[in-house]
Amino acid sequence: MPVPQYLGAGELKIQNGQVTDITMHSGHYNPTIENVHKILNFFAKQGVDISKVQVHGFEKIPQLPCTYDTNNLPCFEAPMVVELVDKLAMETNIKSLFISLNNEIKGLREDIDSKLKAIKKLKDGEIDYVRYNLQTMDAELMWLQKDIQKELAVNSLRNSRPTKENIIDLSDTADKLKEKFDAIKTKYNNSIKELL
């Protein structure tokens, strides 16, 4: 029997045909801000105006300004909730690109290392040339890994409310690092062809 999928849980308040409030209050489900995001997107796709909807939670979300409702619980504007979760999702996707690129670099560095061990079979003059090229590429890859680690560290130290500019900068950096990696990989593949 398939497990049913839920967008979220909580309470809705509707006045004069307009959704005015959504709460994250649920007996056992404990909806997250991502669940509220899904509900708000669902409503928006159905043509519901969410621009004035207030989202009530149990705890303050550090990245969002809030007011407090009559029960002294934090209250957030729905459009800001949607924007924040969208930004966080984009940032997570970009970080996963950095991690994936780092793994590709690691694999290529391991391949270079194995080729360096294998070139002992070449003549002395050829060995020096090939070894130099492979070691140079390995050093370039090592610096590329350091750039990735620096970007991830800098990004995690940025303020807890990411801006579109921060995300665009991070995306641009990921693209540039990927281009550098692709250039090194092409150079490596061409060097390996020379060996064979």
Domain range annotation of the chain? 11-58, 84-195
CA dihedral over 150, 153, 157, 161, signed as positive or negative: positive
Q: Is the pLDDT of residue 150 over 70?
A: yes
pTM of the model: 0.60
Most confident of 41-45, 119-123, 169-173: 41-45
Q: What is the DSSP letter of 23?
A: E
End-to-end CA, the chain? 56
The CA–CA distances, whole Å, from 56 to 10, 73, 74, 99, 173 equal 10, 7, 6, 35, 37
pLDDT tens-digit readout, 56-88: 887 778 778 888 888 888 888 888 888 888 887
pLDDT tens-digit readout, 159-196: 455 566 766 777 777 788 888 888 888 887 777 776 65
Q: Is the pLDDT of residue 33 over 70?
A: yes
Q: Give the pLDDT confidence score for residue 159 in this predicted structure.
A: 47
Closest CA to 76 of 86, 61, 89: 61
